[in-house]
């Protein structure tokens, strides 16, 4: 009844809910990453949160510039945000990678510029969808590696959650540009963007808590090393 009064159908309402869910997880856990000292993951989460707010705005207004911004931010996260920056962010724990602030700024600047190149260059258009897949699969494999490390620390629920959302991400990435769910134009639940938004929201949560497990483990290891000295 309320949705009818607002002029919103159930399918659109769930899409808006999915946008809100991704925005909330992006902003909430993005700031938590920043508190843990990981600027790369923190700012990438905040970018996705901002992208979700913009997607929410576009779905309610159909404002054309908002659509262009949506395409750009989506392309950034699919091409570089998580495949490159997300991997580097986790490698601060898995491989003790240390980057200077200037290197982090340069990474974001270069990848934001490269996003415009691959998105708006005619020569890249025929292979763009395949490029997204080519960079996303290694990231998902890396997340499965992170899940294994979490399992090794006896945090099975967190490890299983990360593994499950990573597999879901592989499915979403694989069908994004290549498969249309039958009847998705009208289906309330089984339409691509609703499923994708929920998958990404869940993945954001599980990635953060997997990071926390590794962070705490490294912190304990550092303390033990200090005590032994």
Taking only the tens place, the pLDDT of each residue in 161-212 is 999 999 999 999 999 999 998 888 888 788 898 999 999 999 999 999 999 9
Phi-psi region of 160 (alpha: psi -120 to 50; beta: other; left: phi over 0): alpha
Residue 12 pLDDT greater than 90, yes or no: no
Mean pLDDT, residues 118-131:
95
Percent of the chain with pLDDT over 90: 76
Residue 58 pLDDT greater than 90, yes or no: no
Q: What does pLDDT average to over the chain?
A: 91
Q: What confidence score (pLDDT) does residue 225 get? A: 58
Q: Which residues contact 91 (CB under 8 A, 6 or more apart)?
A: 97
Q: Tally the C-alpha atoms within 13 A of residue 37's C-alpha that lie toward its C-beta.
A: 8
Q: What confidence score (pLDDT) does residue 142 get? A: 98
Long-range contacts of 189-196 (CB under 8 A, 24+ apart): 189/14, 191/11, 191/15, 193/15, 193/18, 194/11, 194/14, 194/15, 194/18, 196/18, 196/172
Q: What confidence score (pLDDT) does residue 226 get? A: 53
Residue 229 pLDDT greater than 80, yes or no: no
Residue 3 pLDDT greater than 80, yes or no: no
Reported as a pLDDT band with limits 50, 70 and 90, residue 5 is very low
Mean pLDDT, residues 82-89:
96
Q: What confidence score (pLDDT) does residue 222 get? A: 58
Three-class SS state of 73: helix
Q: What confidence score (pLDDT) does residue 25 get? A: 97
Q: What confidence score (pLDDT) does residue 1 get? A: 42
pTM for the predicted model, two decimal places: 0.92
């Amino acid at each position: 009844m309320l949705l009818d009064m607002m002029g919103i159908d159930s399918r659109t309402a769930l899409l808006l809910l999915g946008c809100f869910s991704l925005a909330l997880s992006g902003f909430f856990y993005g700031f938590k990453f920043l508190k843990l000292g990981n600027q790369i993951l923190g700012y990438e989460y905040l970018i996705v949160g901002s992208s979700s707010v913009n997607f929410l705005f576009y779905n309610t207004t159909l404002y054309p510039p908002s659509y262009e911004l949506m395409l750009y931010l989506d392309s950034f996260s699919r091409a570089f945000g998580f495949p490159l920056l997300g991997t580097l962010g986790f490698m601060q724990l898995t491989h003790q990678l240390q980057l200077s602030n200037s290197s982090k700024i340069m990474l974001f600047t270069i990848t934001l510029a490269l996003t415009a190149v691959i998105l708006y260059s005619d020569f890249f258009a025929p292979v763009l969808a395949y490029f997204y897949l080519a960079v996303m699969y290694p990231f998902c494999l890396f997340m499965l590696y992170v899940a294994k490390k979490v399992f090794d620390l006896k945090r099975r629920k967190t490890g299983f959650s990360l593994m499950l959302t990573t597999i879901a991400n592989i499915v979403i990435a694989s069908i994004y540009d290549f498969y249309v769910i039958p009847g998705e134009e009208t289906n309330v639940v089984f339409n691509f963007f609703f499923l994708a938004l929920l998958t990404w929201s869940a993945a954001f949560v599980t990635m953060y808590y997997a990071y926390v497990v590794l962070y705490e483990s490294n912190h304990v290891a550092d303390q033990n090393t200090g005590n032994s000295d």
